[in-house]
Amino acid sequence: MSPLRLGLLAWPIERPASVAAFGAKLDHWLSQARGQADLCVLPEYACVELGAALAGGAPEEATELAAMVAHADEILAEMRAAARRAGVWLLPGSLPMRASDGRVINRAPLIDPEGRLAFQDKQAMTRFEAERWGVSSGAPPAVFDTPWGRIGISICYDVEFPKHVRAQVEAGAWLILAPSCTDSLHGFARVRIGAAARALENQCFVAITPTVGLAPWSVALDENHGHAAIFAPPDRGFPSSGVVAAGEMDAPGWLFHTLDPALITRVRDHGAVRNHRDWPRRPVPPPQPARFA
């Protein structure tokens, strides 16, 4: 497998007036990645900046969500067209969509340069999604075959749970993409710590990228914090911190870095430890009270 030029975009939340304007914004940012990235990644819910305009400016959670779901197919078509125009693989974040059974789910499309796409749904819902938006858990973890090997997507909160990423790694993923949308530094810290932990325990790369900026006109995206980063196992061949690359906090823009899947194979075989191999294969029995003598 050849090295992958990865582009992570800390997406500045703005106020596009239409789906076409959102598409023009995509084109603008993807033009900056031309020649520097093979695969471009945007944050979770980046397109929800459209919600207020599509809802007629009504500052209500339910109205914004309903407008996004109603226009999901149109937004997705704009994302596919942007990937074709740029000639890149594109993970354009995620968008709320209606499942076949009528539930609203949070779904991330991975789009190839020809516009073909496959989806990863979010599994674990935050309290905001479940209690205020009524978003439901989607399909189980998937993996995606690309020219650079098999990768996985764990959307924001999902990367905080070991078994979600582990299922993707056991299916052959060497890279996990974790687009996020967090409205506090606490939330961003949870995503960052979770991503670093998943990289350590699976001996894989994990990449995060957030929405950034203030949007008082949007109930859903009122405040956004974080920075793009790529994590690896803190072992031979990688930085001792486990941080391969990182952007500036709350600053919009691209973080580019080339990732070599051969480094993952090497550290799993020759690392100081073998977390990937030594993952418990049998259920851990429940702890019993220790006896003091």
pLDDT digits (tens, 9 = 90+) for 159-185: 999 999 999 999 999 999 999 999 999
CB 38 within 8 A of CB 52: no
> Above pLDDT 70, what percent of the chain?
99
What pTM was estimated for this model as a whole?
Answer: 0.96
Average pLDDT across each block of 10 residues of the chain; the chain has 293 residues. List them in order: 95 96 98 97 97 82 89 98 98 96 97 97 96 94 97 98 97 98 97 98 98 92 96 97 98 98 97 94 84 89
DSSP summary character for residue 136: B
Q: In whole numbers, what is the pLDDT of the chain averaged over residues?
A: 95
What pLDDT score was predicted for residue 288? 87
Please, is 98 exposed, middle or buried when counting C-beta atoms within 10 Å of its C-beta (0-12, 13-18, 19+)? middle
Catalogue all structural domains in the chain, each as residue range(s) with its CATH number.
4-269 (3.60.110.10)
Q: How far apart are CA 288 and CA 291, in angstroms?
A: 9
Distance in angstroms (rounded) separating the CA atoms of residues 224 and 250: 8
Q: Are 220 and 48 in contact (CB under 8 A)?
A: yes
Angle made by CA atoms 195, 178, 65, in degrees to the nearest 5: 130
Query: How far apart, in whole angstroms, are the C-alpha atoms of residue 160 and residue 158?
Result: 5
pLDDT at 87: 97
